Amino acid sequence: MKLDQKVARSEISDRVEEAWDTLKRLPDRERGLLIARGQQWPVMLYTAAEHAAWKPMRSRRPPPTSRQIDRMHEVLGWLLELAKQNTDFFKAVWLCCAERKKPAEAAKVIGCHRETVRIWRDNGLARVAEIRTWRHVA
């Protein structure tokens, strides 16, 4: 395998992971409605004992920027084209790259051997590299 192919696969894998992260951070319409309703309640004063009993809040990352959303749409286009060509390759790429599952974990989800998932992932990333270069040429 050429070094360029390894670099392309690594870059595509990183982009798929970034797209998954961006997708998770998109604003949730229902969350906004709940926050708006919560602001109608009167302000509560808490004692020091009540503050001590609280569990630390998990901070939420900021919503994605428009550039990140554009990059996510580009990657989702690649993955949609891959899914049209071969759904097994798509599943392997999504589980291994986006959700960062090991091939053995992804194999349990898909229902095949881990080596098969690894091969599908590599072939899927190679196909996405072809799709990507094809779209840049066109």
Query: Where do the domains of the chain lie?
Result: 3-137
Give pLDDT, residue 117.
Answer: 96
pLDDT score of 37 more than 80: no
pLDDT band at 25 (very low <50, low <70, confident <90, very high): confident
Q: Which residue has the higher pLDDT, 134 or 72?
A: 72
Please give the DSSP secondary-structure letter assigned to residue 97: I
Give pLDDT, residue 80.
Answer: 93
Give pLDDT, residue 26.
Answer: 83
Distance CA 70, CA 97 (A): 19
Cβ–Cβ under 8 Å, residues 107 and 113: yes
pLDDT score of 107 more than 90: yes
